[in-house]
């Protein structure tokens, strides 16, 4: 019995070690891409790129928090998931405000830059999703992290669609529309994560 418990403890410790290594890798990728996409979004006047860069920043914060709670109990992990949901909601509302501003003060963003940076972001987030895939069912902490990464892929594809729309139409509204869709994705995922975290906290 003692050997069984010791083996189980070693297994859990090994799992935490693997989770920690993955979280550090995706944290670094998202921090760098936040700077790249944020700068490009400002230069290109792109709501979609700015929205995606904020998503990268939010994910970097999420991964840092997930690393912090790895060795803590279920209540800590549920609280971490709740905080992640609130971060996603905050960024969703920020992007909504940015989109409204662009509607009131329209501008045609730089389609080429949107496309180029969008491709880079998609490649980097695909790496993150691949790293997180095997850990998506470990616990609520890792599941919420994986959901963030999955949303990133959807957002990146949307950014590429925004760049194509702006290029074909020479209008800014495709960029605004994609920014709004990314905001809606943030808010939907935030609601899902918050509800799950609250259920675990009550339990």
**What confidence tens digit (pLDDT) does each residue in 46-103 have?**
888 888 888 788 778 777 877 776 666 667 777 777 887 887 788 788 888 888 888 8
**pLDDT at residue 183 in the model:** 81
- pLDDT band of residue 141 (cuts 50, 70, 90) is low
pLDDT at residue 68, as a whole number: 74
pLDDT score recorded for residue 14: 45
- Which is higher by pLDDT, 145 or 167? 167
Counting every residue, how long is the chain? 203
Provide the token pair at 180. 């709004």
- For 64, 145, 161, the CA distances from 122, given in Å and listed in that order, are 21, 17, 12
Kindly report, residue by residue over 154-187, the tens digit of the pLDDT. 888 888 998 899 999 888 888 888 888 878 877 8
Which residue matches tokens 């959901």?
147
Q: Is the pLDDT score of 36 beyond 90?
A: yes
Phi-psi region of 24 (alpha: psi -120 to 50; beta: other; left: phi over 0): alpha
Supply the pLDDT for residue 12: 37
Place of tokens 């997930």: 66
Instruction: Output the pLDDT for position 9.
Output: 36
Answer yes or no: are the C-beta atoms of 114 and 48 closer than 8 Å.
Answer: yes
User: CB–CB of 93/191 below 8 Å?
Assistant: no
| pLDDT tens digit sequence for 105-125 | 888 888 899 999 999 999 998
The percentage of residues in the chain with a pLDDT greater than 70, rounded to a whole number, is 83
Structural domains in the chain, CATH included, are 22-202 (1.20.1510.10)
């Amino acid at each position: 019995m003692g050997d069984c418990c010791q083996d189980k403890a070693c297994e859990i410790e090994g799992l935490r070690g693997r989770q920690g290594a993955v979280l550090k890798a995706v944290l670094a990728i998202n921090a760098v891409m936040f700077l790249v996409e944020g700068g490009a979004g400002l230069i290109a006047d792109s709501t979609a790129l700015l929205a995606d860069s904020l998503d990268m920043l939010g994910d970097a914060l999420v991964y840092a928090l997930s690393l912090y709670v790895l060795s803590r109990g279920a209540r800590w992990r549920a609280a971490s998931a709740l905080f992640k949901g609130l971060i996603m909601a905050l960024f969703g509302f920020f992007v909504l405000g940015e989109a409204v501003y662009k509607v009131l003060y329209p501008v045609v963003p730089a389609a080429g830059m949107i496309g180029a940076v969008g491709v880079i972001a998609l490649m980097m987030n695909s790496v993150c999703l691949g790293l997180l895939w095997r850990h998506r069912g470990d616990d609520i902490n890792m599941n919420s992290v994986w959901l963030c990464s999955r949303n990133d892929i959807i957002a990146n594809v949307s950014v590429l669609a925004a760049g194509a729309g702006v290029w074909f139409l020479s209008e800014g509204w495709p960029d605004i529309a994609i920014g709004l869709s990314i905001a809606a994705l943030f808010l939907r995922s935030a609601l899902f994560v918050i509800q799950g975290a609250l259920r675990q906290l009550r339990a």
